[in-house]
Amino acid sequence: MIAVIGHSNTDNDCLGSMVLMRYIYPEAILIKSTLIHPVAKNLYSLYADFLSLKTQNEISDQKIDKLVIVDTRTKARINEYIHLLNSSLEVEVWDHHIADSFDIESAKLISEETGANTSLIASILIKNNIKINPIDATIALTGIYADTGNFTHASTKDLDFEAAHYLIKNGADIKVATRKIKLINHEGQISLFHNILNNLIYKTIKGHYITLSYIELDEQFPGLSGIVEKVFEIENPDAYFAFFYFLKNKKGLIIARSKKEEININNILYRYGGGGHIFAGSAKIENDDIKRIFLSFKKDIEEKIEFAKKAYDIMTKNVYMIKENWTVKEASIYLEFINYTGAPVVDESGKLVGFISLRDIMKARKINQMNSPVSAYMHKKVITGTKDMTIESIELLFQKYNIGHLPILEDDNIIGIVTRKDIIKYLGLNLEEKYIIMQNIDSL
């Protein structure tokens, strides 16, 4: 017999992974965890009869020849199944948590960096042109939506979109999928959401904008991760760490979200026995030390996160400059040659005296003044920056002053320039390269 298991406290992505695994191993039996995560209970309840998951007791008299594990590669997350592992058992692991330690002995690992583990398994079905039924497609699509945050998480990859397209083509119901992962859907969650917003703590750590919250609850509350997602979405920090302490059983929970690779959630929570992805994760604290951890957490994460990228890290150091005694025509020809929309203007000593853009040149062209000196049309009040400015502060300057170039000065000397292209490249959105790639694909 082939048995398929996921991690304990089954979530939507784990459930979607298990369902699709039946198309790779049609004879497989899906074994249910003793715990279903609150965010997945709605979906599981709706399709429980169709899923036909078995408990361990129900298959206790059957011999398992092969064990397939989905959505985790860490032994600690399958403790309830650990007795199934033995030296003669063939074990296969399908998991997308590439930052987690792989500690399941003698297992074969199938892995790829995807936003959702369901997408990893769907990719095999796509390659083999396997059709699936609409209910399975809907369950799988819910898993992808949940783990990619409706394709808004930074961990989302091309394969997640391809998998979603495949599932929709196979009849997945988008309305059901999105409704089943609604983040906040009852009065208690809304009340807690507002309570958290009123108790947020704001910190700047190594140039990153961090928010934290500490909330005490009588007992475990359903849908906490959804509430954290909503706070993260509205506040839009670089990272958010939510601490919860449950008075009844004296246990704690940390749920964290990040939008920067420099703030690796998996690495930060690992020391507390937690984990997850680079951008999302959680950790259970099995004693009443949660408040102590919260109070010392700023110091803890300072050791784990990297400094925020600054102007010096992304600026163009070879700065093209225009002399103030050039004509507007000469400046226009030069900008066309270097393929820039503007450049700093310097005097004979190299000191910054202004900035001229194609827009300024157009003004001179309209009134036939192209032979006028650059100094007559340049902007003399230039917004400048320093090498230690954060990327976020540069973006704010771009927005506030409607500029696309920021000369970086040190001791009144130009040492670099940050442009919109530099910001786009830093964000991983090199649109020019992607445009060329897409053109090449279209021409095939």
What is the per-residue pLDDT across 44-81, written as a single tens digit (0 to 9) for each? 877 888 888 999 999 988 999 999 999 999 998 999 99
Closest among 126, 166, 130, 117 to 16, alpha carbons compared: 117
Residue 440 has pLDDT above 70, yes or no: no
Contacts of 46 (CB under 8 A, 6+ apart): 176, 180
Using DSSP's 3-state secondary structure scheme, residue 433 falls into helix
Q: Give the pLDDT confidence score for residue 434 in this predicted structure.
A: 47
Tokens of 66: 């092969």
Q: What is the pLDDT of residues 333-384, one digit of tens each?
A: 999 999 988 999 999 889 999 999 999 999 999 999 999 999 999 999 999 9
HSE of 100 in the Cβ direction (CA atoms, 13 Å)? 28
Length reported for the chain: 444
For the chain, give the percent of residues with pLDDT over 90.
58
Cα 267 from chain centre:
15
Position with higher pLDDT, 43 vs 415:
415
The two tokens of residue 404 are: 């696309």
Q: Which fold has domain 312-426?
A: CBS-domain (3.10.580)
Provide the pLDDT for residue 299: 83
Per-domain boundaries in the chain? 2-179, 187-304, 312-426
Instruction: Give the fold, CATH level 3, of 2-179.
Output: inorganic pyrophosphatase (n-terminal core) (3.90.1640)
Q: Do the beta carbons of residue 77 and residue 119 sit within 8 Å? A: no
Nearby residues of 29 by Cβ (< 8 Å), 6 or more positions away: 1, 2, 3, 4, 54, 59, 62
pLDDT of 187 over the 70 cut:
no
The CATH number given to 187-304 is 3.10.310.30
444 — pLDDT class (breaks 50, 70, 90): very low
Separation of first and last alpha carbons in the chain: 46
Among the ranges given (6-10, 138-142, 440-444), the one the predictor scored with the smallest mean pLDDT: 440-444
Residue 40, pLDDT score: 83
In sequence order, the 6+-apart residues with CB closer than 8 A to the CB of 142 are: 12, 15, 16, 43, 176, 177, 180, 181
- Mean pLDDT value of segment 3-28: 95
Give me the chain's average pLDDT, please.
88
Choose the weakest-confidence range: 11-25, 267-281, 388-402: 267-281
Q: Name the 3-class secondary structure at 28.
A: coil
Own/partner contacts of 179-188, CB < 8 Å, gap of 24 or more, are 180/12, 180/42, 180/43, 180/46, 180/142, 181/12, 181/39, 181/142, 181/145, 181/146, 181/150, 181/226, 182/226, 183/223, 183/226, 183/227, 183/229, 183/230, 184/223, 184/226, 184/227, 184/230, 185/223, 188/221
Q: Is the pLDDT of residue 185 over 60?
A: no
Question: Out of 126-130, 175-179, 300-304, 336-340, which region has the weakest mean confidence (pLDDT)?
Answer: 175-179
Please report the pLDDT score of residue 51 as a whole number.
87
pLDDT tens sequence across 400-439 = 898 889 999 998 899 999 998 888 788 765 444 544 444 4
The CA-based diameter of the chain, rounded to the nearest angstrom, is 93
Same topology for domains 2-179 and 187-304, yes or no? no
Q: pLDDT tens for residues 100-113?
A: 889 998 899 999 99
Residue recorded with tokens 């750590």: 205
3-state SS string for 192-244: HHHHHHCCCEEEEECCEEEEEEEEEECCCCCCHHHHHHHHHHHHCCCEEEEEE
- Give the predicted TM-score (pTM) of the model: 0.63
Which residue matches tokens 């000191």? 351
